[in-house]
Structure formats: structure tokens, C-alpha cells
Amino acid sequence: MDALAAIPPIYFGLPEHAIEAYWTSMMEVTNLDFIIYNIPQTTGYALSENLFKRMMAKEQVIGVKNSSMPVMDINMWKLRAGKDNIVFSGPDEQFVGGRVMGADAGIGGTYGVYPELLMEADRCVREDDLEKALQIQLKINDLISELTSFKGNLYDVMKLILAKRGVSVGRARNPLPHVEDDEMDHVEVVRQHIDDAIAEFTK
């Protein structure tokens, strides 16, 4: 293991000094590089600039995995770190926007079912072909809408599609609901849409 990423404690609404102490205790025990995981929509805490700066002053802290919805947060984490750092863009729907705003890379939940699209979008950003990068992002967003349209959980849908793409990884675990029998034909439709998008953008 090379690095550790952690969200703040959830359930209890803790003051920032307690969140800092929690993260610091992890670093002291593991002695690993540490990446702050900012995902306020699920944790209830949005990383503040003050706590960010205090954390970045610690040698083991190397960056942020940012999954907040405002893309401007990425720009803030890059510009105000006070040292070289790594920022990962989190929301899959904003990969291109995050990269343009300064993210070094992305970590996303849906990347695994169409990595070719993300790699091509990243290449386009690096080579300043933003028009094509945006076209790919819009297609990805359409696919995300399809992937989240099932009664079954997104991760079960993706596992079924991965199996159809030759990577068998089982099914989602409880309490995540499985795709229902009457939805299975639609899984194949979405898989075909993914294949079509890959063929369109990675010729």
C-alpha cells in the first residue's frame, strides 16, 4: 500500500479540530502518504480552506480526492496548498471540467465500465482538444443517466456490464439491491450504448 485516503468521520457532526485529529491519528499509525477525501454530499462535511491548509502543512498529506460538486473547489485545492500536491477529480459527470480546473487525474465510480472513454477524454484535455473532450463528457453523462435508471443499484448494473465486457466480478452485496429480472434486457441495451460510444470516440 502506497497511500491512504479517508473521509471525515460521519454520523456525529464534529468540529474541524476533531476531524483534523482523526485524520492525523491515521497518519501516525500507518506512516503512509495521506489523501484527504472530500465528499460532502455523503459525509455532511465540506472541507474548508482553513482545515485544508492545516492538513497540507503535514508532510504526509500529498493531496485531495475531491468529490464536491463545485468544480471551483479543485482550483482552490491546487492553488492554495502551499506545496506541490495531487488533486483527483471525483464526480464522474465533471471529469473534463475537473481536469481543466487543475485536477491531475480522476477517480470515479463508473470509470471501470468504459475506461476507454475516460482515457480518450484525458488525452484530449492534455492535447487541448477541448471540443472533443466535451463531446465525450456529454456522452459519459448520458451513459451515467442510463446506468442510474434501474431499480437495481448502480454498482450491480456496472458489475453485470463488466461481465458482458469479459470481466466477471460477481454481483453487488447487500444492502445494495440487485437488478431485477425484468431489467436484464435493458442492461444489454446500455452495454451496447457503451460499445457504440467507445467505437465513436476512440477510432
* Residue numbers annotated as active site: 37, 65
Quote the CA–CA distance of 184 and 156 in Å, as a whole number: 11
Could you tell me which residues come within 8 angstroms of residue 159 by beta carbon, excluding any fewer than 6 positions away?
A: 169, 170, 171, 172
Range 154-161 contact pairs with CB under 8 angstroms and sequence separation of 24 or more: 154/109, 154/110, 155/109, 157/187, 157/190, 158/109, 158/110, 158/112, 158/113, 160/184, 160/187, 161/113, 161/187, 161/190, 161/191, 161/194
Phi/psi region, residue 7 (left: phi>0; alpha: psi -120 to 50; beta: rest), is beta
Q: What is the dihedral of CA 192, 155, 8, 74, to 10 degrees?
A: 0
